[in-house]
Amino acid sequence: MMRGIVASEQLLLFCDLHGHSRKRNIFAYGCETLKGPSRLRERVFPRLLADTCHHFSYSSCSFKVLRSKETTGRVVAWRQFSTPNSFTLEASFCGADFGPGAGLHYNICNLKEMGAAFVPALLEFIDPAQKRVSAIMAELEAAHPAADEADEDVEGDQSAKDGSTPDAFGDASEKLRRAVRGRASTNPPKGKASGFSAAAGGTGASARRKPAVDPTKKKKKPATTVGSGSGGLSPRNTRSPH
């Protein structure tokens, strides 16, 4: 259905309405664009919502695209249709933590007020004069200046959001492979060691328990006792004459 709409009409904004079970307030999740003409555009409509409804918390919004959220409606619409204005509007089950309603659950009246504020914000968003939108963009650019550092850092962050592997992961993998090769060269496998280590490995624990034999020491002969037999032999080695 959305492909058919995009084929014939311009997709201005996508918004999925949700209820949040943990995080407080009414806020939005968006999809961050790090560079190009659409940079910071994802923050404009949430700012308009905050201006038109006191229940909406702009400070609670998040625009990071996590890998675990790749299949959510806002991320799919953002990627498939290349629109920066793709959001999930969340209303907490736990109520607000700011303003006159802090510590209280949202009631039906509060939610209706939020819904009623959505349309005026949308009308101001598409205003041909774009006065309020231009003013918000100027504030956002002052608060979030573009990075002047190497473009590789920005592209690495963008590739992580696109699902590709950043260069940092490749460098870490190469370091790990080098470490494994170095460990293998210093610790050869069993059976290929030379010298005493190989011999000790073949004899096992029993070789370590046996004392070493000193070849310089002569083997002691068993002591003999002189008896009454002939030849001075022990009575054990002669028969009795009786």
Query: Where do the domains of the chain lie, and which CATH numbers do they carry?
Result: 12-144 (3.40.630.10)
Write the pLDDT tens digit of every residue in 207-232. 455 555 665 655 555 555 444 444 44
Q: Which long-range contacts (CB under 8 A, 24 or more apart) does 2-9 make?
A: 2/77, 2/80, 2/81, 6/81
The token pair that represents 219 in the structure block = 């083997």
Chain segment 100-117, per-residue pLDDT in tens? 899 999 999 999 999 999
Among all residues, which ones are annotated catalytic? Answer: 90
* Mean pLDDT for the stretch of residues 142-146: 93
What percent of the chain is helix, strand and coil (3-state, nearest 5)? 45, 10, 45
pLDDT tens-digit map of 68-110: 999 999 999 999 999 999 999 999 999 999 998 999 999 999 9
